Chain A
């Protein structure tokens, strides 16, 4: 674990893997809840956790440098289930990358339990991990200018769901009607770091069941 100073009031804690970042994030959130850590923002990402708004970052940095990455926290809550139609325009391209028939993309994806590793890009956009590394896919060479809200998409090791229409370069494999972000709802974000997620295939209107 390496704690890099960021300006005068923040630390970027770097760990070896996404799993370690998730474990560290959970531990830091627990410490803030119990009152032993005072910090404005705890922002997990691919292999780091940012702590912003610290009174004494140097003291916390030396404390973290002397400690081990905590073990992964127990899985407390049930997974959130997102209904999905595997009808995305990039399904064939993803199938080609994976070296499987198109229907297999849906089956493999729906059989995976995901975890929200971190959020970013837009309010409520989660970077979900869970697929084995052999299913990594590149971003599209040319991003789309408008990806519809609810698009279920893949890029690198991640699955994501677009909370609203926006430009995007991820490979689109499906669509969900779930509302990922609603600022009038509490909580506004359906997915937050650490949330477990399952995609549940539903029948496309007028089409066959998209996955067994």
Chain B
């Protein structure tokens, strides 16, 4: 092992390697995967001078701690959290130099859910179908981090970081998801479609990288029976038999048999990645562009 590596001292609740994912293989049953909060992952890469496709760490709620074997530049963004280097407070949302052997501690999120940690050179685990992303649905890509594991780092590109700070939206106090109806809204009663777009739901603690689950009024079906399996898109609002809508996130299955009542605009999904359990969710009907 070269010294271009990171030792994982504290893996945290769920820390995975993520990049832009592996779109283009859905017909083989391969989820797209990739960072849930894409803009935050892109920002941390820019802050350390990485290319947009470099792999970063995605943390969940309580951060992680890593020790680089060589001096690196890191940046932490996404869910706001304290950052420390060998116990000393360091900047969040800005480039930070971490000397060889020092401990980078990414603390628990003050708000939001998912933190992003870029390291100059990027996390250089072996790609699978062109991506280093961990896919929790199908198990492709590297396993989630564990205490004591070691991650290889790539060589820095020598790019000068084009920015040293970037604006970021605060995690949502209320999650507003714009939706266009269909393709299977006709499998539900007209009342159910009105309920979806007029009542308030809450983010369920059962949410994960596969889907944002919600709690709230159940949506009643107009058609019973089983829908033959059909292709699913990112942002699909699928309604399982319990009637509570689930918004498909990056690790969603490529096909499914529960009807999709509406689809969330892709631009609203990064905020969904940062909505803590209990956050109110409103589905707002919008016209198709």
Contacts and interface: CB of A to CB of B under 8 A. Distances in A.
Contacts of B180: 5, 7-8
A124 interface: yes
Nearest to B260: A6
Q: Chain A, interface size: which category? A: 35 or more
A119 B24 CA distance: 13
Nearest to B267: A8
B226 to A, nearest CB: 9
Given A43-B231, A46-B230, A49-B231, A4 B182 contact: yes
A26 B27 CA distance: 12
Nearest to A193: B27
A47 B255 contact: no
B289 A45 contact: no
Interface in A163-212: 164, 183, 188-189, 192-193
Contacts, number: 110
Given A6-B260, A43-B254, A123-B138, A12 B26 contact: no
A41 interface: yes
Interface string A29-49: 000000000001111111111
A98 to B, nearest CB: 22
A102 interface: no
B28 A189 contact: yes
B183 interface: yes
Contact of A44 (B23, B27, B139, B182): B27
Contacts of B128: 183
B265 A7 contact: yes
Contact of B255 (A4, A120, A183): A120
Interface in A17-62: 40-50, 52-53, 58
A57 to B, nearest CB: 9
Contacts of B260: 6
A40 B24 contact: yes
A101 to B, nearest CB: 31
Contacts of A118: 27, 229, 255
Given A6-B182, A43-B27, A123-B140, A12 B231 contact: yes
Interface in A103-147: 118-125, 127
Given A4-B182, A44-B231, 17 more contacts: A5-B180, A5-B288, A7-B180, A7-B233, A8-B180, A41-B24, A43-B26, A45-B231, A52-B231, A118-B27, A121-B29, A123-B25, A124-B28, A124-B29, A183-B140, A188-B129, A189-B29
6 contacts: A6-B260, A8-B288, A12-B231, A46-B230, A47-B230, A192-B27
Give 8 closest A-B pairs by Cβ, nearest first: A50-B231, A46-B228, A7-B263, A120-B255, A43-B231, A4-B183, A119-B29, A41-B26
